[in-house]
Chain A
């Protein structure tokens, strides 16, 4: 491999990794807000409100239901983002079989 193409690969690695970290930070921010802030830190504030038409105090709902739904959605969003990123950088795995 020539020096030029090795440099190019190093740059691509760094770009891929930076993008990956950006996705992680954004998703972990939602993760933190959707559980620690809504369900724990501000739970009493949110409990003053109710989900309309139900008996759920909002903070309690986040702590026992909403946070879990958010977690599931976050992982599927992550999968979607990373699969696209892999495609963009041409680093999809080849089938071994």
Chain B
């Protein structure tokens, strides 16, 4: 069977499965719609969290980025997993005990303030839409490349599927679909990795193969890759180019951002008990780690294969995958020296007599995971499986994000602010309508992506790190923290972080170099400084203003233990 037929079969089968689950798990109350009735088992919630968290960025882009950046790509690996330690130790169990429905709900109740709630609603909606645009874009690319339908049609199909289970099932539908999506995506990620590891190193476990011996040259794989890199004038794969300060700050911003992302936090409201919330984060990280420890192996396999396939080879004899991707514009070749061969080289490349060599090949890192099975000549069904996995990753994250938008509107904006008299039935209808509208907006963003999806993702993490993360931590660990401190801290953190990113990314992109950054911190890492600023402002202001009322202090006591002693 051809790749396309296989893709139709596998994608069609997985979509049918998601729809079936959606029908089986319809939500009938707001509690079911917002937090799946609070009765999800910790293991299932861990899987759902893993699928919720691992987006098109994790599945499609991450290994490609690592493949092109080598050691510098470690920021994503450490940043996007280390945040779960913070989540487990500092947030999840307390938030579960507090028993809110949404993140703004916690902020509003803990800081006894509608202003705090509204600031949180705005942040939650902004962060989620930023993120969802990227997911829909991923869906469009996969459809466009593998099913050869226009990107618009691809996005529309994706929207229909998400609309179906998010609007019908709410959190309950999303949770059980995400469990299925995790299984699809992890299988799709591991199969080609195991194939490649066997082919290149003779060891079926990619995590071990990465440190193993390259069958072809008899050298350690990493040594061989470093050798190829220095031959072709690229920076060393295992040491990278970014400054230590920048790596440090980016990693910290990604960690704090991960722990502060509302769609991840709300997943821990869905389990029955505090104890379940704790272990559930453990399962989530374990399931995530399976993909995240495989990614650096895929990155190295893909890089080695790519260099072997294209370097100094004749352009006219390139295999089929090369031309198919070329037609999407994600690979481009320009024969500067007219020799008909591909020179794929780094900035340091020189000829034997010291003349610089021009690079002739541009490859978008996003295609590495998708093209990898083709480059290595794996069977057609594996190529199709990767497409189905990428769709599962994108759709599961999109659904979780849409849930945040919908509940922020129906619960925090309507029920808790504008229309407190609204009935349970009315709120449920409002939640469904806002979920539907959110799907529409997300689809629009996917078809007409703002040209800066990659830039805005830095935004989402920076803002989550500078707003929610410190506000929630202080709300749990400081009894003295009051509404004045929390609100001014959040506003200071957001304004600073947003200002820095907007300045370097949109107003003056030409100045976006290490020489102009403050303390050598890039816009990707500035959320860390924003978070520190938030902590300082919040602590100072709260010391100068009245302490929170008695009932809030009692609430904090209540939140800090799974149950009261003597009960």
Q: Which residues of A are at the interface with B, using a C-beta cutoff of 8 A?
A: 5, 8-9, 12-13, 16-17, 20, 24, 27-28, 31, 35-36, 39-41, 43-44, 47, 51, 54-57, 60-61, 63-65, 67-69, 71-72, 74-76, 78-79, 82-83, 86, 89-94, 96
Contact = CB atoms under 8 A, between A and B. Distances in A.
B212 interface: yes
A40 B285 contact: no
Contacts of B281: 75
A56 B282 CA distance: 27
Contacts of B244: 40-41, 43
Main secondary structure of the interface of A (DSSP, over half): helix
Contacts of A93: 273-275, 562-563
B109 interface: no
Main secondary structure of the interface of B (DSSP, over half): helix
Interface stretch (B70-78, B261-269, B392-400): B70-78
Interface string B272-298: 111100110110011001001100100
Interface stretch (B85-93, B333-341, B496-504): B85-93
A68 B291 CA distance: 11
Most buried by A among B252, B273, B562: B562
Contacts of A86: 275, 562
Given A35-B78, A57-B222, 7 more contacts: A5-B566, A24-B90, A54-B212, A65-B293, A74-B85, A82-B93, A86-B562
B81 A67 contact: yes
B221 A55 contact: yes
Contacts of B89: 24, 27-28, 75, 78
B308 interface: no
A94 to B, nearest CB: 7
A68 B78 contact: yes
A91 to B, nearest CB: 5
Contacts of B278: 75, 78-79, 82-83
A72 B238 contact: no
A56 B82 CA distance: 21
Given A69-B289, A72-B286, A72-B289, A89 B565 contact: yes
B285 A64 contact: no
B297 to A, nearest CB: 9
A55 B220 contact: yes
Contacts of B160: none
A63 B78 contact: yes
Contacts of A40: 74, 78, 244, 247-248, 251
A39 to B, nearest CB: 6
Contacts of A71: 81-82, 84-85, 285, 289
Interface of B: 66, 71, 73-74, 77-78, 81-82, 84-85, 88-90, 93, 207-208, 210-213, 219-223, 238-239, 244, 247-248, 251-252, 272-275, 278-279, 281-282, 285-286, 289, 292-293, 296, 557, 560-566
Most buried by A among B81, B213, B557: B81
Most buried by B among A44, A76, A90, A94: A76
A82 B557 CA distance: 17
B293 A47 contact: no
B367 to A, nearest CB: 21
Contact of A36 (B88, B211, B251, B562): B251
13 contacts: A9-B564, A35-B251, A40-B74, A40-B248, A40-B251, A60-B71, A61-B211, A68-B78, A72-B282, A72-B285, A72-B286, A86-B562, A91-B565
A2 to B, nearest CB: 11
Contacts of B557: 13
Contacts of B84: 71, 75
B404 to A, nearest CB: 24
A94 B560 contact: no
Given A39-B74, A60-B71, A93-B273, A78 B88 contact: yes
A47 B238 contact: yes
B561 A16 contact: yes
B211 A55 contact: yes
A55 B222 contact: yes
Most buried by A among B84, B272, B278: B278
B82 A83 contact: no
Contacts of B73: 64
Q: Which 8 A-B pairs rank lowest in CB-CB distance, beginning with the nearest? A: A55-B220, A54-B211, A63-B74, A64-B296, A75-B282, A55-B222, A56-B211, A60-B238
